[in-house]
């Protein structure tokens, strides 16, 4: 698939002077002149208080939202040059997403939820189901494939969400407070699972969290406040960091 | 507390304006059809009464005797009765002018010299060129016309007015123009007056009058004169007040009115479903809000009251709007019903604007509000019983609604089976409304079954949707399966609307099929000559002379004169078909369903018995072996019933007798139909042209070949069902509203889901496809459910309603073609209805939708 215009090669994600404002009258600066670069295979945690711009950053990277100014470049492609459908295709082929509230479809079974991205990509039902069952096995839910979300615990639901995010082996995984709705033991389980899957798939992970322990699983931590990156902490010797 | 709950409800309305508007519109349409039908019926009866009263003028009593009238001698008896001040004979004819573009003209024959004291018409002095019009009227070719008619044709005194009469075409001289008030208003001003004796001659009334209008002495009570007259006039002659003739009109049009009332109730039922639908979804949508309110200490009854109050207000607003819409719908409905009354019952009405009756409006208002309350009851109960802890959780924690249990399935099945059994085994004559409950019971049973039925059908459709449309198809079906309350509410509205369409269609098809097969069996003349294009021509007839002239044409094998009239019987009226029985029996065979045919063939031509139609037999509870008695102008006529035959000429029931017998007792030689059989080898078309040449410029005659005649009858039947067709359209429209309503709510309810799918890579086109496919799936399920409900309701219509309304049951026939034709139409409507919700879904902002609370 040829999407947009190729700009750079070094970083997987590159934000250049990105701002995102909301409102017409009294403008809220959700992100303010952010420059950021993330390498392939890197695990980056984003921390900060509520309203600091963490979720906005995620939304801009996955193309769900557009910056007011500046550019977001994903694998060398400037997202601003892509139309909605192209951004959507990029998302469904390259970006896995995990939400704090799981966002599973209540009408579908675990296996159907997991297979959904493949089905949206046009995979056959049989193929999608086969891969979904395999993926559910990898997240330890082989015996829960026919259950619906309301029949599962919080931890199980998040595992399904992770399985759904990884089903098409995306190069980038965005996780927005994946342990926010879970107790600490289950949260730790989920983070270990992410570590394991990171090793297995070598996916780049961008983890938004309030939780220091969750952030400790990453290579690098970015601290956001009032829409800007105020600090960076490197935990592992990989990645590029703030420019 | 209720005030804050009301405020919350108001906020909901403000936020969901479209849903609110559609809900209100749903009940408004249901109420409007109900109100329109009742208003139109009332207006029609009023306009029929107005016609009678205007024609009666200042008469305090009227002497009548069915359509055939009574001999002149009765007039002498009435005049000589003490207490009678004035008595004037009257003849009324719906005649035809020979103007090229003109239709019917009501010609009233009155005794001109005495009449002006009794009847209300005033001469238009400004136009009068004749010193004394009454002197001019002494001439036999004189006629007076209303100003409306005169102006329409540019007629003035002295001009010629050509009329088709039973004696052929005649030219009358306009001797005066009367004002458009009183009698001049009747029949929209299409009215003329001539001398009664002249009318008697030119319209082949023999020595009969149609009616006597009389004015009693002011110092003698009217009832006293009425009793006196009843005591001395022959049996079969009625003495009645003009105002009480309204009752006989109500009887005459009862079948039409009852049919309309039943269908208007169904329209209201569809409206009720829309309310139910809306509230079910509203409860779902406000799940979390209800949880918060419960958590904050709002008691269960108050939650229920909040929803019921909302329903009451919506029902009130919808009903008021429905009454307003219904009033304007009544304009069209009155017109259609007026045409039906004219074509089927031969009744002449005077156009009137719809009558606004406050009690009807209040009844419609109450009905609309009660329907809203009933519809909102279950959703309100569900809301009040919600577990607040569960409701406060995220969407994944929602329990699947408990509408799919086997208990419900058993209940639904029991209701349907009970309804079917009642229709099959129990048809007590307890009134239409009570028996309508059978249909309601079956319908509610199906409604209870609907969630399960929708689920089964959804699951059955899933593989096909997957194969055909991929993940979007599966998601569309799953969305339906997993929201059974919402799905079944929409499918329910569609089902009830389509049930109405299918069962009405089946009823019409069954009726047409049965009439056609009967006609094929017993209507086998080569040509038919009739006086009117309408089903009944009560007043304008041929004379026997026309038949004689046609019989002289080369190629005629046999010709029968037929009189089709209505006479009093019991406390109602029945139809009589008087035909030359020897000729009729010569060309039909195996015509009797009950009775000894050889015996009937022998005795009927001698006038020693009668045949009756099935509906006469069932209406009056008599059959072969019984004797039938009529009070005729010549005294009582009593004959044995020799056979029962299949005939659908009149919903009141028909009696067949020999024409000579009829003529002898009713002193009436008028002819309404001439049945002609041709010699073998005679060309029908050529013979038809010969009859046309014979009657051209002489008689207003309609000539049909056998095939044309059957087609004409079928068109008349279609005319009878015209209002049903209109109601079918309204029902489909209301059902379509239900789909729009549901899909809009469905999209707004699933904002988050749609947002998630978009976030996971669902393209806009895929979302659009999903919403559209959901509509298609619902349409398919709706059509199937509608077909099942339609079958049940058809069974009710053919076995119960038809017996009550028309006096006969008709065979069950399922309209497969109609359903197959309807399916793509409903799918197209569903797609059109889904277009806007799909657009909304596509334009959803994903970031907001995912974070949507």
pTM of the model: 0.71
Domain map (residue ranges) of chain B: 1-56+251-399, 61-240, 404-522+717-853, 541-699
User: pLDDT tens for residues B500-513?
Assistant: 888 888 888 888 88
* A75 pLDDT more than 60: yes
Residues B291 and B281: their CA atoms lie apart, in Å, by 16
Cβ pairs A/B, distance under 8 A: 87
Q: Decide yes or no: CATH 3.40.50.300 for domain A13-234.
A: yes
pLDDT of residue B832: 86
What confidence tier does A7 reach under pLDDT thresholds 50, 70, 90? very low
Q: What angle do CA B846, B851, B852 make, to 5 degrees?
A: 90
pLDDT of residue A111: 92
Higher pLDDT, B196 or A4: B196
Chain B positions touching A1 (Cβ under 8 A) are: none
* B577 pLDDT more than 90: yes
Residues B384 and B299: their CA atoms lie apart, in Å, by 8
* B311 pLDDT more than 90: no
User: pLDDT tens for residues B84-125?
Assistant: 888 888 888 888 887 776 667 888 888 876 656 676 666 655
End-to-end CA distance of chain B, in Å? 24
Contact B761 A91 (CB under 8 A): yes
User: pLDDT tens for residues B608-656?
Assistant: 999 999 888 888 889 998 999 998 878 889 999 999 998 888 877 899 9
User: pLDDT tens for residues B685-744?
Assistant: 889 989 888 887 777 788 899 888 888 888 888 877 776 777 777 777 777 777 777 777
pLDDT of residue B484: 76
How far CA B736 is from CA of A243, B225, B494, B717, in Å, comes to 59, 60, 7, 28
How far CA B424 is from CA of A18, A49, B432, B678, in Å, comes to 77, 73, 16, 46
pLDDT of residue B114: 64
User: pLDDT tens for residues B362-388?
Assistant: 988 998 888 888 878 877 887 787 766
Contact A119 B474 (CB under 8 A): yes
B84: left (phi over 0), alpha (psi -120 to 50) or beta: beta
Picking from B341, B396, B110, the residue whose alpha carbon sits closest to that of residue A103 is: B396
Picking from B664, B674, B675, B509, the residue whose alpha carbon sits closest to that of residue B588 is: B675
Contact B764 A120 (CB under 8 A): no
pLDDT of residue A240: 37
- Chain B neighbours among A 184-243 (CB < 8 Å)? none
Average of pLDDT values for B663-678?
89
Q: Give which of B749, B760, B762, B768 to mutate to test A binding, by max A Cβ within 10 Å.
A: B760
Residues B440 and B432: their CA atoms lie apart, in Å, by 12
Beta strands in B217-293 (DSSP E): 238-240
* B603 pLDDT more than 90: yes
* B462 pLDDT more than 80: yes
User: pLDDT tens for residues B423-443?
Assistant: 888 765 666 667 777 888 898
Give Cβ neighbours of residue B254 (< 8 Å, ≥ 6 apart): none
- Percentage of chain B beyond pLDDT 90 is 12
* B247 pLDDT more than 70: no
* A40 pLDDT more than 80: yes
Q: What angle do CA A113, A117, A123 make, to 5 degrees?
A: 110
Least Cα separation, residue B851 to chain A (angstroms): 9
β-bridge pairing A43-47 and A220-225: parallel
Q: Give which of A105, A113, A156 to mutate to test B binding, by max B Cβ within 10 Å.
A: A105
Least Cα separation, residue B277 to chain A (angstroms): 20
pLDDT of residue B576: 92
Contact B761 A93 (CB under 8 A): yes
Average of pLDDT values for B473-499?
79
Chain B positions touching A103 (Cβ under 8 A) are: 752, 756, 759, 850
Domain map (residue ranges) of chain A: 13-234
Contact A117 B397 (CB under 8 A): no
- Dihedral sign, Cα of residue B715, residue B719, residue B723, residue B724: negative
Structure tokens at B315: 């029902």
Nearest beta carbon to residue B466 from set A85, A117, A125: A125
* A62 pLDDT more than 50: yes
How many CB atoms lie under 10 A from the CB of residue B812?
14
User: pLDDT tens for residues B798-853?
Assistant: 887 777 767 777 788 888 888 898 899 889 888 888 888 888 888 888 877 776 43
- Percentage of chain B beyond pLDDT 70 is 85
Contact B850 A103 (CB under 8 A): yes
Chain B positions touching A104 (Cβ under 8 A) are: 396, 756
Three-state SS string over B122-138 comes to CECHHHCCCCCHHHHCC
Picking from B599, B502, B374, the residue whose alpha carbon sits closest to that of residue B823 is: B502
Residues B821 and B438: their CA atoms lie apart, in Å, by 28
Higher pLDDT, B325 or B738: B325
* B244 pLDDT more than 70: no
Which residues partner with B64 through β-bridges?
B211, B238
Task: Locate all alpha helices (DSSP H) within B760-800, ordered by sequence.
Answer: 764-796
Structure tokens at A223: 């601290």
Nearest beta carbon to residue A106 from set B395, B759, B763: B395
pLDDT of residue A8: 41
Contact B764 A97 (CB under 8 A): no
* B182 pLDDT more than 80: no
How far CA B76 is from CA of B138, B209, B288, B551, in Å, comes to 21, 12, 86, 39
pLDDT of residue B137: 61
Instruction: Provide Rg for chain A, Cα atoms.
Output: 18
Give the SS3 label for residue B57. Answer: coil
Picking from B378, B379, B366, B381, the residue whose alpha carbon sits closest to that of residue B312 is: B366
- Across chain B, mean pLDDT equals 81
Contact A120 B474 (CB under 8 A): no
Residues B218 and B710: their CA atoms lie apart, in Å, by 54
* A10 pLDDT more than 60: no
User: pLDDT tens for residues A118-166?
Assistant: 888 888 888 888 999 998 988 888 898 999 888 888 888 888 988 898 8
Residues A106 and B8: their CA atoms lie apart, in Å, by 27
Search chain B and give the residue with CA nearest A128: B471
Search chain A and give the residue with CA nearest B846: A64
Residues B590 and B613: their CA atoms lie apart, in Å, by 15
Structure tokens at B372: 């809203």
Residues A177 and A209: their CA atoms lie apart, in Å, by 5
The answer to whether A94 faces chain B, any CB pair under 8 Å, is no
């Amino acid at each position: 698939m040829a999407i947009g215009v190729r700009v750079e090669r070094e970083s997987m994600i590159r934000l250049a002077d990105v701002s995102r404002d909301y409102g017409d009258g009294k403008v809220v600066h959700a992100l303010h002149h952010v420059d950021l670069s993330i390498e392939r295979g890197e695990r980056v945690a984003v921390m900060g208080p509520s309203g600091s711009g963490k979720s906005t950053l995620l939304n801009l990277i996955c193309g769900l939202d557009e910056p007011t100014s500046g550019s977001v470049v994903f694998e060398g492609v400037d997202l601003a040059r892509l139309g909605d459908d192209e951004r959507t295709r990029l998302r469904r082929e390259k970006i896995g997403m995990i939400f704090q509230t799981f966002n599973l479809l209540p009408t579908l079974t675990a296996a159907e939820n997991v297979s959904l991205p493949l089905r949206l990509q046009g995979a056959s039902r049989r193929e999608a189901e086969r891969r979904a069952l395999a993926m559910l096995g990898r997240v330890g839910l082989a015996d829960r494939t026919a259950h619906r979300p309301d029949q599962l615990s919080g931890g199980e639901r998040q595992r399904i969400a992770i399985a759904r995010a990884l089903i098409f082996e995306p190069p980038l995984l965005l996780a927005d407070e994946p342990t926010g709705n879970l107790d600490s033991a289950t949260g730790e389980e989920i983070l270990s699972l992410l570590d394991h899957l990171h090793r297995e798939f070598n996916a780049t992970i961008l983890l938004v969290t309030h939780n220091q322990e969750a952030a400790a699983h990453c290579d690098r931590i970015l601290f956001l406040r009032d829409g800007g990156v105020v600090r960076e902490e490197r935990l592992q010797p990989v990645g590029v960091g703030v420019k | 507390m209720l005030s804050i709950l009301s405020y919350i409800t108001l906020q909901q309305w403000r936020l969901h304006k479209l849903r609110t508007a559609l809900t209100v519109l749903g009940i408004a349409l249901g109420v409007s059809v109900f109100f329109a039908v009742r208003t139109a019926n009332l207006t029609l009866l009023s306009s029929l009464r107005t016609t009678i009263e205007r024609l009666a003028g200042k008469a305090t009593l009227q002497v009548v005797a069915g359509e055939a009238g009574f001999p002149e001698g009765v007039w002498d008896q009435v005049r000589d009765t003490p207490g009678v001040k004035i008595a004037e004979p009257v003849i009324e004819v719906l005649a035809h002018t020979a103007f090229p573009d003109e239709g019917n003209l009501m010609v009233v024959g009155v005794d001109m010299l005495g009449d002006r004291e009794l009847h209300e018409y005033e001469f238009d002095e400004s136009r009068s060129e004749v010193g004394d019009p009454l002197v001019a009227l002494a001439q036999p070719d004189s006629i007076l016309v209303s100003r409306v008619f005169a102006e329409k044709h540019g007629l003035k005194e002295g001009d010629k007015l050509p009329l088709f009469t039973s004696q052929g075409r005649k030219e009358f001289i306009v001797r005066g123009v009367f004002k458009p008030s009183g009698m001049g208003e009747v029949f929209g001003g299409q009215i003329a007056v001539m001398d009664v004796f002249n009318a008697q001659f030119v319209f082949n009334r023999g020595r009969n009058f149609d009616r006597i209008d009389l004015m009693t002495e002011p110092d003698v009570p009217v009832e006293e004169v009425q009793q006196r007259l009843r005591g001395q006039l022959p049996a079969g002659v009625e003495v009645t007040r003009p105002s009480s003739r309204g009752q006989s009109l109500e009887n005459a049009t009862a079948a039409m009115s009852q049919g309309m009332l039943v269908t208007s109730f169904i329209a209201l039922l569809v409206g009720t479903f829309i309310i139910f639908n809306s509230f079910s979804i509203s409860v779902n949508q406000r799940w979390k809000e209800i949880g918060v309110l419960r958590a904050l200490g709002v008691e269960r009854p108050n939650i229920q009251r909040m929803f019921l109050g909302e329903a009451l207000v919506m029902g009130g607003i919808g009903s008021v709007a429905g009454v307003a819409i219904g009033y304007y719908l009544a304009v069209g409905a009155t017109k259609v019903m007026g045409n039906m009354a004219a074509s089927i019952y031969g009744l002449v009405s005077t156009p009137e604007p719809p009558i606004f009756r406050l009690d009807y409006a209040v009844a419609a208002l109450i009905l609309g509000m009660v329907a809203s309350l009933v519809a909102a009851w279950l959703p309100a109960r569900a809301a009040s019983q919600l577990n607040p802890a569960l409701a406060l959780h995220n969407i994944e924690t929602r329990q699947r609604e408990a509408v799919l249990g086997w208990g419900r399935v058993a209940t639904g099945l029991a209701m349907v089976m009970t309804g079917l059994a009642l229709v099959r085994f129990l048809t007590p004559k307890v009134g239409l409304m009570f028996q309508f409950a059978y249909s309601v019971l079956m319908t509610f049973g199906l409604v209870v079954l609907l969630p399960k039925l929708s689920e089964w059908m959804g699951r059955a459709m899933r593989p096909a949707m997957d194969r055909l449309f991929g993940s979007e198809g599966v998601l569309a079906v799953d969305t339906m399966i997993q929201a059974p309350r919402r799905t079944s509410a929409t499918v329910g509205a569609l089902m009830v609307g389509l049930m109405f369409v299918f069962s009405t269609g089946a009823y019409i098809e069954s009726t047409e099929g049965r009439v056609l097969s009967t006609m094929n069996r017993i209507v086998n003349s080569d040509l038919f000559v009739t006086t009117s294009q309408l089903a009944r021509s009560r007043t304008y007839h041929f004379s026997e002379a026309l038949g004689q002239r046609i019989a002289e044409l080369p190629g005629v094998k046999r010709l029968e004169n037929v009189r089709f009239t209505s006479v009093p019987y019991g406390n109602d009226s029945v139809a009589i078909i008087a035909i030359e029985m020897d000729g009729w029996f010569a060309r039909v065979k195996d015509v009797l369903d009950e009775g000894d045919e050889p015996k009937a063939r022998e005795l009927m031509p001698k006038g020693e018995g009668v045949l009756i139609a099935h509906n006469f037999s069932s209406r009056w509870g008599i059959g072969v072996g019984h004797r039938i008695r009529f009070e005729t102008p010549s005294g009582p006529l009593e004959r044995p019933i020799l056979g029962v035959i299949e005939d659908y000429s009149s919903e009141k029931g028909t009696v067949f007798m020999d024409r000579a017998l009829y003529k002898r007792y009713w002193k009436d030689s008028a002819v309404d139909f001439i049945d002609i059989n041709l010699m073998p080898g005679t060309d029908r078309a050529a013979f038809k042209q010969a009859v046309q040449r014979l009657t051209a410029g002489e008689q207003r005659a309609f000539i049909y070949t056998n095939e044309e005649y059957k087609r004409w009858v079928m068109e008349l039947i279609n005319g009878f069902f015209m209002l049903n067709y209109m109601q079918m359209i309204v029902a489909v429209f209301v059902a379509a509203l239900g789909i729009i309503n549901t899909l809009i709510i469905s999209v707004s309810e699933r904002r988050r889901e749609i947002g998630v799918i978009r976030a996971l890579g669902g393209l806009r086109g895929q979302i659009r496809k999903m919403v559209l496919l959901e509509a298609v799936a619902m349409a398919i399920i709706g059509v199937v459910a509608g077909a099942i409900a339609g079958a049940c309701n058809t069974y009710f219509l053919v076995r119960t309603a038809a017996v009550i309304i028309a006096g006969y049951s008709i065979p069950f026939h399922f309209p497969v073609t109609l359903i197959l034709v309807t399916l793509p139409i409903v799918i197209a409507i569903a797609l059109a209805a889904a277009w806007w919700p799909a657009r909304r879904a596509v334009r959803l902002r994903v970031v907001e939708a995912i974070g949507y609370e």
